[in-house]
Amino acid sequence: MKIYNRDLKKVVDEVDTNAKSVQFLYNNFFGRIILKVATKPVISKINGVRYSKKRSAQIVPKFVLKNEIDMSEYPNKEYSSFNDFFTRKIIEEKRPISTKNSDLISPCDSLLTVYKINDDLTFNIKNSTYTVEELLKDTELARKYNNGYLLLFRLTVRDYHHYCYIDSGNRDEYKKIDGILHTVNPIACKKEKVYSENSREYTTLHLDNFGDVIQMEVGALMVGKIKNNESKTFKRGDEKGYFEFGASTIIMLFEPNKIKIDDDILLQSANDIEVRIKYGETIGKSLQK
């Protein structure tokens, strides 16, 4: 995978440790037979139970080594299960968050791609054309984001899987959309309309400095649950929730003329290169007066 590493200020090749298995599932006849079963939500629920058992903690050391996870960012502790490890809390100082009201921050560790929403409310991800209406299942709400931006934060298994509110404000009720659970790996995104087919939930955030922003959490293959907090009011940097096991995605929709994304991110997104960013990192500015 081609990734732009902002720390190194260059595009680097990053090894996808799951590429072979995903290639088999999506590009092989027998793999696609397995896929029909594997993408059903009940399979992820079964795995959620499995990874919550004490004996599942045995796979943690191998998982850390395979995925090159920097455990110096986390408290030194013994995990009670694999899911206890996967939902681990980071050392707070490792993810500083800007307190400047004008700074647009990332809600999570992820690989970020930014898309401009067209006049017809469409955008293209890995050769698949989506509409905002498909994502939201709400025509009237979708219209608010005509000519705005869609930010796609793709979390990999090596990332910290908690996510925060990007600004202070309040939110509407969550809307849950049932679906199946494809992997969000780019290989799958070239074959399936992953983001409009997967189970997901979203809410409208009424933010002090960025207007009305939709934040959507998308489930993925082997993700047990999306665990969102219930509080309806919040401050910048408060935890919004976390994902249990699996790679996952957060999608954010911004109205037109509300944000300016950093130029390096826009440049790499235009070249279909994902940008590695961290929870709380500044990725743009507010245009709201």
pLDDT-above-70 percentage for the chain: 75
Confidence of residue 30 (pLDDT cuts 50, 70, 90): very low
Predicted pLDDT at 90: 97
- Active-site residue list: 109, 248
Model confidence, pTM:
0.86
Question: CA 142, 264, 281, 181 torsion: positive or negative?
Answer: positive
- Convert the pLDDT of each residue in 226-250 to its tens digit: 889 999 999 999 999 998 876 688 9
**Parent domain of 95:** 1-8+15-289
Q: b or e along 171-210 (b: 16 or more beta carbons within 10 Å of the residue's beta carbon)?
A: beeebebebbbbbbbbbbbebbebbbbbbbbbbbbebebb
Mean of the pLDDT values across residues 186-210?
71
- pLDDT digit string (tens) for 266-280? 999 999 899 999 999
Give the containing element (helix H, strand E) for 27.
helix 19-27
Count the domains in the chain.
Answer: 1
- Tokens matching residue 152: 């796609």
* Higher-confidence position of 205 and 40: 205
What is the C-alpha separation between 74 and 265, in angstroms, rounded? 28
Number of residues that make up the chain: 289
d(CA 120, CA 132): 9
